[in-house]
Amino acid sequence: MDDERRLRTFARIEALQRADPEGAEALYAARMAEALDALAPRAGEALQVAVRAQHLERWTLARSSYPSDRRGYLAWRMEQSRRHAARVAQLLEEEGHDATFIARVGALVQKKALATDDEAQTLEDCACLVFLGHGLASFAGGRPDAEVVGILQKSWRKMSARGRAAALERAPGWPVEAQRLIALALDQDAPDDAATG
């Protein structure tokens, strides 16, 4: 993809994200792009697009439209993944991208073949880093440590060695509560001044 079309594609994605009334989607995409730049500064163009579009227009399908149990959550996530891929495919087609590129971006957005696809794994690593650094502390509020630790351990298993190393390197700059929970999940000593509430 030439530079002009890449920038135009990014701009169109960003314009859709800015429509989110809460402003969360654009912030998430910016954090994902930053994580990708740190993890894989020479990432391919399909991955650059997929990282930015992973949650494209997520705000248009409320979590509350599905049952509140785990089954409902998984169904919501699956539908969101399908919708994100379809929406970015439409946008890419309008920008004149070929079918192979569009299919590749869609596969990455949906994190297909995670175990064997290095780019899909990189996207997963980015998502985990963004969650650990920016979402964990608020997510954990009101939840028992044991529940959060279990979720963190599952997330840690999904990350590559490179992603885990990046998380450990970045952790000292994250909220103290996030550091404490990560330390618990990894069976390390929590920071002495960690919040316990």
- Domains in the chain: how many in total? 2
pLDDT at residue 192, as a whole number: 43
Where a domain ends, among 90, 110, 130? 110
Question: Do residues 123 and 159 both lie within one domain?
Answer: yes
pLDDT in tens, 12-32: 999 999 999 999 999 999 999
Contact predicate 133/174, CB 8 Å:
yes
Sign of CA dihedral 36, 158, 101, 88: negative
**Contact between residue 125 and residue 159 where contact means Cβ atoms under 8 Å apart:** yes
Rounded mean pLDDT of 93-111? Answer: 95
Task: Select from 85, 195, 55, 80 the least CA-distant residue to 137.
Answer: 195
Residues 8 and 99 in one domain: yes
Do 137 and 176 sit in the same domain of this protein?
A: yes
Same domain, 12 and 70: yes
Chain segment 147-182, per-residue pLDDT in tens:
999 999 999 999 999 999 999 999 999 999 999 999
At residue 187, the pLDDT reads 81
Is 80 in the same domain as 145? no
Write down the pLDDT at residue 1. 65
Last residue of a domain, one of 110, 131, 160: 110
Mean pLDDT of the chain: 91
pLDDT tens digit sequence for 55-77 = 999 999 999 999 999 999 999 99
Average pLDDT over residues 103-132: 94
Give the whole-angstrom CA distance, residue 102 versus residue 113: 17
* One domain, residues 103 and 128: no
**Domain shared by 103 and 122, yes or no:** no
How much is the average pLDDT of 93-122?
A: 94
Q: State whether 106 and 131 are in the same domain.
A: no
Q: Which domain holds residue 25?
A: 1-110
Residues 93 and 141 in one domain: no
Tell me, yes or no, whether 3 and 94 share the same domain: yes
pLDDT band at 195 (very low <50, low <70, confident <90, very high): very low
User: What is residue 2's predicted lDDT score, i.e. its pLDDT?
Assistant: 78
Model confidence band, residue 188 (pLDDT cutoffs 50, 70, 90): low
Q: What is the pTM of this model?
A: 0.88
Q: Rounded mean pLDDT of 136-154?
A: 91
Per-residue pLDDT, 197: 31
Rounded Cα distance, 58 and 51, in Å: 14
